[in-house]
C-alpha cells in the first residue's frame, strides 16, 4: 500500500493557468496538454526563479528533501516534453495548501493574499474593485501526476473524450453521441456496452 502523500505548501499561486505553443508547425494540431501540478510549479519557482537550494525549498514546501527532488525532476521532465513535442501546458491540481488565503480580482486580474486571518477582504488592494473571489478553491483535492489520461473520460463505443470532472465518477457520465456510460481513459472496458435506456 502506498504511503499517504503529505500536503505540499504553496506560497504563491501561478500568475497564469498555462501556456500554449504557437507557430506554423502547431497551428493545425490539437495535442493533449502537459499537466503541471501546483506543487510542481512551486518547486520550479522556488529553485529556478527565487534561487533557493533544494534544502531551503523543501523546508518552504513542508516536504522532505528527497520528495522535493522528485517533484523538481518531474516538473523539468514535463517542461521538456512540452517544449520538444510542442504541447500546451496547463497548471492545475495537486495535493497542496496555500500559506494564507489568496484572492483574484476580476477587474485587474491580480492575485493577492490575506495573511491577516481576522480581517475580511472586501476589495482589491491594487484597483479597489469589489469584484474579487477566492483563488481556485477546488485544488485541495488530490490529483496524481502519473498520467494525464487520469483526467479524461472516454466513451467505449465511439471513443469520444471529455475532461474528467473531479468528484464525479466517469461511470456517472453519459456519452452525448451514443448514450453509453463513460469510462476512465486507460482502463480496460468491453466494446459491446449497451446504451442507457
Residue partners of 9: CB distance under 8 A and separation at least 6: 42, 60, 61, 62, 96, 97, 98, 99
Q: pLDDT tens-digit profile of 17-53?
A: 899 888 777 656 667 899 999 899 999 999 999 999 9
Burial of 197 (0-12, 13-18, 19+ CB in 10 A): exposed
Q: How confident is the model at residue 143 (pLDDT cuts 50, 70, 90)?
A: very low
Using DSSP's 3-state secondary structure scheme, residue 119 falls into: coil
Q: pLDDT tens-digit profile of 44-91?
A: 999 999 999 999 999 988 889 999 999 999 999 999 999 998 899 999
Amino acid at each position: 500500500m502506498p504511503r499517504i502523500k503529505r500536503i505540499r505548501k504553496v506560497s504563491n499561486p501561478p500568475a497564469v493557468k498555462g501556456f500554449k505553443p504557437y507557430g506554423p508547425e502547431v497551428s493545425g494540431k490539437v495535442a493533449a496538454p502537459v499537466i503541471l501540478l501546483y506543487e510542481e510549479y512551486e518547486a520550479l519557482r522556488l529553485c529556478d526563479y527565487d534561487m533557493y537550494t533544494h534544502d531551503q525549498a523543501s523546508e518552504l514546501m513542508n516536504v522532505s528533501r528527497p520528495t522535493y527532488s522528485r517533484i523538481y525532476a518531474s516538473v523539468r521532465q514535463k517542461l521538456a516534453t512540452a517544449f520538444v513535442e510542442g504541447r500546451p501546458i496547463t497548471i492545475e491540481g495537486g495535493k497542496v495548501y496555500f500559506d494564507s488565503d489568496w484572492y483574484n480580482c476580476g477587474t485587474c486580474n491580480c492575485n493577492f493574499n490575506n495573511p491577516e486571518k481576522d480581517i475580511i477582504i472586501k476589495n482589491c488592494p491594487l484597483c479597489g474593485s469589489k469584484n474579487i473571489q477566492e483563488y481556485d478553491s477546488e485544488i485541495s483535492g488530490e490529483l496524481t501526476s502519473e498520467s494525464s489520461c487520469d483526467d479524461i473520460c472516454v466513451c467505449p463505443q465511439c471513443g469520444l473524450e471529455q475532461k474528467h470532472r473531479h468528484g464525479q465518477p466517469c461511470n456517472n457520465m453519459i456519452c452525448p453521441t451514443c448514450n453509453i456510460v463513460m469510462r476512465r481513459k486507460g482502463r480496460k472496458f468491453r466494446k459491446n456496452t449497451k446504451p442507457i435506456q
